[in-house]
Amino acid sequence: MAVSAIPRRIPATVITGFLGSGKTTLIRNIIMQASGKRLALIVNEFGDVGMDGAMLAECDTEGCSVDDIIELANGCICCTVADDFLPSIQTLLAQNPPPDHIIIETSGLALPQPLVQAFGWPDIRAQVMLDGVVTLVDGPALAGGGIAHDLEALERQRAADEELDHESPIDELFEDQISAANLIILSKADMLDQAGLHRARAAVEAHLHDNTPIISVAGGKAPLSAVLGLDMEEEAHHRAKHHRHHHHHDGEDHDDDHHREHEHGHDEFASHIIALDEVEDAGAFQAQIMAMASSHGILRAKGRVPVLGKALPFVVQAVGQRVDGYFAPNPGAVGNEGKAGRLVVIGLAGLDAGAIAAQLGGSVIMDSGSDAPPQN
């Protein structure tokens, strides 16, 4: 009796941040790196009617055509989930072929949590997987003691949308963006000197309650493989449920190992592919990856390794110091290439891939810079 294949759920990434934080620039750069991956966009920037969609459509590529962009300019998507978000998702899912990845740009003026929770609705969860929430923060604004480039424009944008909460301070919305994030991108780092970069990172860290990775970018040039493919569905839903329940208290210790200060204005990235031999203990291998994420400053890692006595390989996914591991679910998911041990490691330029490979008993078989296509 043939076993029917489990339908692939399409990953979706929520990108949030205040007006002027650089969301559209980041997405444009991601589109240009698509390399055949078909991307679809839902753009929701109230107050800039037609602007973001038009800017994104300018980079019309094989991977993202104008037909793959849905622009919502009639209110905040986080406040009108049933009216706007669900029909937009259904429209994209009805495309033939469907997109490989959906990117949702929100205005950042409402809590991202209702949108995250909508991914748990049965009709959506069966077809779409929340890959993660990415929050952009304005580096120069933070370095100068603020949270947005133009607070007056931000307040006007909020006042124009009657669906939004107009009572909560903007600072609280900023904290909600940070608490919801699986990845934080500090934008416009090229406009900061070293002292300014330190101040901006410290302003973000003051709102962090866990080891959420922070990366600094210039001109929105973050590698696609560092932003998409986070595979943080469970973590994102957990944060949406508990975002108000975790606050720092005076005198509380805060682990800063994951908040390394970098000695340059913005981060350059590189990815490396490491060939791995069979391991004896999957759990020990996962723990080893977790330890190296801290000691070597690994931002992302994804791969699989054969395990002694096991028919299927062990898969690891790491974002910062969060490392998940599981055995591949079925033989059909593993081709001949998948039986070989491979680990893709993404970090800042200068990451010692050779040392990582040596600790894992493997060897580096490919190095690439920040313009390299993502590894699937």
Residues 302-328 have pLDDT tens digits of 888 999 999 888 988 776 667 878 887
Residue 45: the pLDDT is 54
DSSP string, 325-346: EEE-S-GGG--TGGGSEEEEEE
User: Between residues 71 and 248, which one has the greater pLDDT?
Assistant: 71
User: The tokens of 312 are what?
Assistant: 């299927």
pLDDT digit string, tens, across residues 332-369 = 444 444 467 888 887 777 788 899 999 999 999 876 65
The tokens of 339 are what? 């039986």
Task: Spell 105-142 as b/e; 16+ CB within 10 A means b.
Answer: bbbbbbbbbbbbbbbeeeebeebbbbbbbbbbbbbbbb
List of E strands, 188-307: 214-216, 269-276, 298-305
Task: Read off the pLDDT band of 164 (50, 70, 90).
Answer: low
* CA geometry: angle 259, 285, 227, nearest 5 deg: 45
Strand residues in 96-200 grouped as ranges (E): 101-105, 128-138, 183-187
Q: Which pLDDT band, with edges at 50, 70 and 90, does 329 fall under?
A: low
CA distance 106 to 115: 9
Question: Shortest CA distance to 198 belongs to which of 142, 137, 136?
Answer: 142
Euclidean distance between CA atoms 33 and 62, whole angstroms = 11
Could you tell me which of 227, 196, 185 has the C-alpha nearest to residue 17? 185
Q: How far apart are CA 47 and CA 51, in angstroms?
A: 9
Token pair in block for residue 48: 């800039």
Residue 240: band (very low, low, confident or very high) from pLDDT cuts 50, 70, 90: low
Sole residue written with tokens 């920037």: 45
pLDDT one-digit tens code per residue, 189-201: 989 999 999 999 9
pLDDT at 255: 41
pLDDT band at 252 (very low <50, low <70, confident <90, very high): very low
How would residue 183 be classed by pLDDT, with cut points 50, 70 and 90?
A: very high
Residue 289 has pLDDT above 50, yes or no: yes
| Band of pLDDT at residue 237, cut at 50, 70 and 90 | confident
Task: Please check whether residue 78 is in contact with residue 189, taking contact to mean a CB–CB distance below 8 angstroms.
Answer: no
- Residue bearing tokens 């699989």: 304
Q: Domains, the chain, ranges and CATH?
A: 10-242 (3.40.50.300), 269-368 (3.30.1220.10)
Burial class (CB in 10 A: 0-12, 13-18, 19+), 81: middle
* Residue at 184: amino acid letter: I
Separation CA 227–CA 324 (nearest Å): 17
| Residue scoring higher pLDDT (275 or 55) | 275
Distance CA 145, CA 46 (A): 25
Give the least confident one: 24-33, 218-227, 246-255, 287-296.
246-255
161 vs 124, higher pLDDT: 124
Confidence band of 256 (pLDDT split at 50, 70, 90): very low
Q: Which of 57-61, 184-188, 351-355 has the lowest mean pLDDT?
A: 57-61
Q: Tell me what pLDDT residue 318 has.
A: 78
Note the pLDDT of residue 248: 35
pLDDT at res. 172: 83
As given in the structure block, the two tokens for residue 196 are 């300014």
pTM over 0.85: no
2-51 pLDDT, tens digit per residue, is 444 446 899 999 999 887 888 888 988 888 888 888 888 887 654 443 44
Model confidence at 261: pLDDT above 50: no
Q: Can you give the pLDDT at residue 281? A: 94
Residue 340 DSSP class? S
Is 249's pLDDT higher than 70?
no
Residue 294 has a pLDDT of 76
How high is the pLDDT of residue 271? 76
Q: How many CB atoms lie within 10 A of CB 300?
A: 27
* Class of residue 36 by CB neighbours under 10 A (exposed 0-12, middle 13-18, buried 19+): exposed
Higher pLDDT, 320 or 82: 320
Query: Which element (helix H / strand E) includes 11?
Result: strand 10-16
Q: Are 270 and 351 in contact (CB under 8 A)?
A: yes
Give the model's pLDDT for residue 296. 84
Q: Look up tokens 């300019």; give the residue.
A: 73
Residue 284 is encoded by which pair of tokens? 């020990």
Give SS3 for 73: coil
d(CA 170, CA 177): 11
Average pLDDT over residues 239-258: 44
Instruction: Give the model's pLDDT for residue 95.
Output: 85
